[in-house]
Structure formats: C-alpha cells, structure tokens
Structure 1
Amino acid sequence: MKFFLISDNIDTAAGLRLSGVNGVVVHERNEILEAFNNALNNKEYGVILITELAAEKIPEELKAHKLSGKLPLIFVIPDRHGWRGDKDFITKYVEEAIGVRVNE
C-alpha cells in the first residue's frame, strides 16, 4: 500500500516527494475534494496525508470517511509553517475521552 499527499503548498509536496510520496498540490475546495475522492477510489493507497489548510476546507468529508472505518487511513499533517491548530489537542482529546484533567 502506498501513501498519497494532498497539499495546499509546493514545499510540502516537494519534501514528501523526496521521500517517495506522490501527491497533488491543490488550493480550492472543489480541487481538494476531487483529489480526495480520486485518492479514496485508488485501491493502491493505504494512507492519505493531507495538509492542515487543505483539510480545513473539507472537514465533513474527512470526518465521514474516518468514521466509516474503511481504508485508506487519513492523517492531517502540518505544512512547512508548522501546526496551526491547538497545540494541546491530544491532551484535550484524552481529557475529554476519560473525563480526567491530565495537566494544569
């Protein structure tokens, strides 16, 4: 199974291409959605990597696929600018899941 990248910038795509990950650079919602659907339909892909800004444009589609439990797996990754989201998202996720505050 292969990895596939959906990126909103050339730098991330070029960096991952150097490690053997093919992908596309897209900017508009319709382009991102088309690339996502094409990747889902390609049985060679086991993992789809999508940059954070691209993922923000198709949140419902990403959530629906993740909840389906089907392959390929989806991972949202930071781009060359780093993570834009909440830095403590894992801690908050665990706290919410188990109902115990992890740190102060």
Structure 2
Amino acid sequence: MHKFVVVTDSESAVGFRLAGVDAFETSSAQEAKGLIQSLISKGDTGIIAISEDILSSLDEKYRDKLERMRKPIIIPMPSRSKGMDKKSYIERLLRKAIGYNIVMRR
C-alpha cells in the first residue's frame, strides 16, 4: 500500500500530524531536496504534497524533474502565508493540468 505524505513547514506539519498524516518538516531548499529524494527512493510513497513555498525554493531543473515523475505524484499545496485567492488557485491548477486557461465565474 502506498503512503500519502506531506512536506511542509514546522507549524503546518503539526496540524497534518494531528489529522493522522505523515508530515515532514523542512526549513531549507537543500534539506527539502534530500527529504524528497529519500521519500522517492523508499518506493512506498504514492503521493507527496509539498508546500508551494518549499517547492518554489527548489531549483527549476529539480522542480521539472519532480513534475515529470509518474510515481510518486507530487501535489503543490498553497501556503498559509500567501493568503491566496481560492478561485485563482483552482484556475492555475486547471491551466497546469489541461493546458488551457479557464476563467471561473459565479
């Protein structure tokens, strides 16, 4: 059975652990890269959700490599600090997934 894990900051990791999710804390890009590599090499990880702040701190070449991987699936999570508009976040995910910009209206 494959696991779902989260790679995030220390404050958010506590909440995920309380919800029963395996959460790993990281504070630097180099530490995150090593952690992600170790999760990938284990072979039992199916999905890795990574905080967008952490993901954006990684170099572009490595992010592209993660995006092209079939397993585990890498999911970017919006960061609490950004105060991002939910609608624009969903539009951005859709554009990335299907290659088209879809404007959502009420």
Tell me which interval the TM-score lies in, with the shorter structure as reference length.
0.7 to 0.9
Instruction: Indicate the structure with greater helix content.
Output: 2
CA 1:91–1:38: 2 relative to 1, 3 Å: same
Which residue does the alignment assign to 1:67? 68
Q: Mark the runs of 5 or more structure 2 residues left unpaired by the alignment.
A: none
Contact preservation (8 Å) 2:10, 2:26: no
Gaps of 5+ in 1: none
Q: TM-score, length-normalised on structure 1?
A: 0.75
Contact 1:5/1:48 (8 A) holds in 2: yes
Do structure 1's residue 13 and structure 2's residue 9 form an aligned pair?
no
Q: Residue type of the partner of 1:46?
A: G
Runs of 4+ in structure 1 off by over 6 angstroms are none
Partner of 2:76: 76
Q: Please tell me the root mean square deviation across aligned C-alpha atoms, in Å.
A: 2.8
Deviations 1:22-59, CA, capped at 9 Å, x for gaps = 12211111101101111111211100011111001114
Bigger relative contact order (CA 8 A; separation at least 6): 1
Q: Secondary structure at the match of 2:27?
A: coil
Q: 1:32 and 1:98, CA in 2 relative to 1: closer, same or farther beyond 3 A? A: closer
Query: Structure 1 pair 6/31, CA: closer, same or farther in 2 (3 Å)?
Result: same
Q: TM-score, normalised by structure 2?
A: 0.73
Counting matched residue pairs gives: 100
CA distance in 1, matches of 2:71, 2:29: 22
1:37 and 2:37 aligned:
yes
Tell me how far apart the structure 2 counterparts of residues 44 and 102 of structure 1 sit (CA, whole Å): 37
